């Protein structure tokens, strides 16, 4: 028994050991959970989204933040009165350390498998970025995160069904290979809305990488941006909540109950991805350097 407890403590230490980065402290600021719509809740930190959907047959959790975010996400879920053991599936935006880093700990706490793309699964089982990641040049160590033992794969367009809610996976590679965006329909009585958990759409890389030398990556990113723009979308939560001004919308909701909803919000989010990419390509063409 003591041995088991010691082992559990060791696992907790390893899979929640903080990753250090210049933004990590700000990203990991605690955030009180809040309702997005119906049974869909924001349970992430201030700078890293996590969304919980409650169904009559269990819970679905999207993204795990950093390793050090996992205890905050778990506490948020419990503070809403839900049980970690009722989480049936862990979904993910993309297999980077700031969104998948907390999933090993959350898997330990919930017992739920991660469901993601084949490329995402391969990366998460290793606990590192996918092969061909534009940020790979930061080095193996810098991209490291706790490996995730139980990862199931899902095809583009396929669904996860829990308690009458259908979660559809849309492959959105480009920011990194293997990225995914998830959609579901949330109903609060007769009031039904299309919710989106959107992957990052930013062209970010290590200094050695030039997007202009990787036309395949650029074309994947443009396709993914167009896919996100075309989704049925009343409310979008992006992997980083600031990318859709989520907290500004939340603050406006105090005055206007509809402030979180906007059928053009995915279009606006996608447009941000396009401007970022266009600027990046222009900078590369202009400077001769990334």
User: Residues in the site for Zn ion, rule: CB under 5 A?
Assistant: 96, 200
Q: Confirm whether 214 is a catalytic residue.
A: no
Between residues 260 and 277, which has the closer beta carbon with respect to Zn ion? 277
Between residues 33 and 178, which has the closer beta carbon with respect to Zn ion? 178
Q: Confirm whether 86 is a catalytic residue.
A: no
Between residues 37 and 96, which has the closer beta carbon with respect to Zn ion? 96
Report the SS3 class of residue 36.
strand
Q: Confirm whether 269 is a catalytic residue.
A: no
Helices 2-15 and 103-110 meet at what angle, rounded to 10?
150
**Polymer length of the chain:** 290
To the nearest 5 percent, what fractions of the chain are helix, strand and coil?
35, 20, 40
Q: Which of 42, 63, 96, 199 is catalytic?
A: 96
For residues 181 and 194, the answer to whether their CB atoms sit within 8 Å is no
Q: Confirm whether 37 is a catalytic residue.
A: no
| Residue 261 beta carbon to Zn ion: minimum distance, rounded to whole angstroms | 27
Q: Which of 94, 145, 194, 199 is catalytic?
A: 94
Q: Which of 15, 63, 99, 234 is catalytic?
A: 99
Write the DSSP string, 62-127.
Answer: E--BSGGGHHHHHHHHHHTT--GGGEEEEE-S-SSTTTBTTHHHHHHHH-PPEEE-HHHHHHHHHT
Q: Which of 42, 63, 175, 269 is catalytic?
A: 175
Residue 20 DSSP label: P
Between residues 96 and 280, which has the closer beta carbon with respect to Zn ion? 96
Residue 170 DSSP label: E
d(CA 45, CA 67): 12
| Residue 239 beta carbon to Zn ion: minimum distance, rounded to whole angstroms | 7
Between residues 275 and 287, which has the closer beta carbon with respect to Zn ion? 275
Q: Confirm whether 98 is a catalytic residue.
A: yes
Q: What is the largest CA-CA distance in the chain?
A: 64
Q: Confirm whether 96 is a catalytic residue.
A: yes
| Residue 218 beta carbon to Zn ion: minimum distance, rounded to whole angstroms | 17
Q: Which residues of 44-71 are buried (b: 16+ CB within 10 A; e: fewer)?
A: bbebbbbbbbbbeebbbbbbbbbbbbbe
Which residues are tagged catalytic? Answer: 94, 96, 98-99, 175, 209, 240
């Amino acid at each position: 028994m003591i041995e088991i407890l010691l082992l559990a403590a060791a696992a907790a230490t390893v899979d929640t050991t903080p990753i250090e980065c210049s933004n990590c402290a700000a990203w990991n600021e605690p955030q009180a959970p809040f309702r997005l719509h119906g049974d869909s809740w924001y349970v992430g930190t201030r700078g890293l989204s996590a969304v919980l959907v409650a169904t009559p047959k269990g819970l679905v959790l999207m993204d795990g933040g950093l390793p050090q975010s996992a205890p905050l996400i778990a506490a948020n879920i419990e503070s809403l009165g839900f049980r970690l053991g009722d989480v049936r599936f862990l979904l993910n935006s993309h297999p980077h350390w700031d969104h998948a880093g907390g999933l090993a700990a959350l898997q330990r706490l919930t017992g739920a498998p991660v469901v993601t793309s084949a490329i995402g699964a391969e990366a998460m089982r290793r606990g590192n970025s996918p092969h061909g990641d534009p940020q790979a040049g930061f080095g193996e160590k810098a991209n490291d995160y706790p490996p995730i033992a139980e990862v199931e794969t899902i095809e583009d367009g396929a669904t996860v069904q829990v308690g009458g809610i259908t979660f559809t996976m849309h492959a959105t590679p480009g920011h990194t290979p293997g990225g995914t965006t998830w959609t579901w329909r949330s109903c609060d009585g007769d009031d039904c809305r299309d919710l989106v958990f959107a992957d990052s759409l930013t062209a970010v890389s290590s200094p050695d990488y030039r997007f202009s030398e990787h036309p395949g990556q650029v074309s994947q990113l443009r396709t993914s941006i167009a896919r996100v723009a075309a989704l049925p979308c009343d409310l979008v939560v992006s992997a980083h909540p600031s990318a859709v001004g989520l907290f500004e919308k939340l603050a406006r909701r105090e005055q206007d109950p509809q402030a979180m909803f906007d059928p053009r919000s995915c279009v606006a989010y996608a447009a941000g991805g396009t401007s970022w990419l266009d600027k990046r390509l222009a900078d590369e063409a202009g400077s001769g350097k990334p």
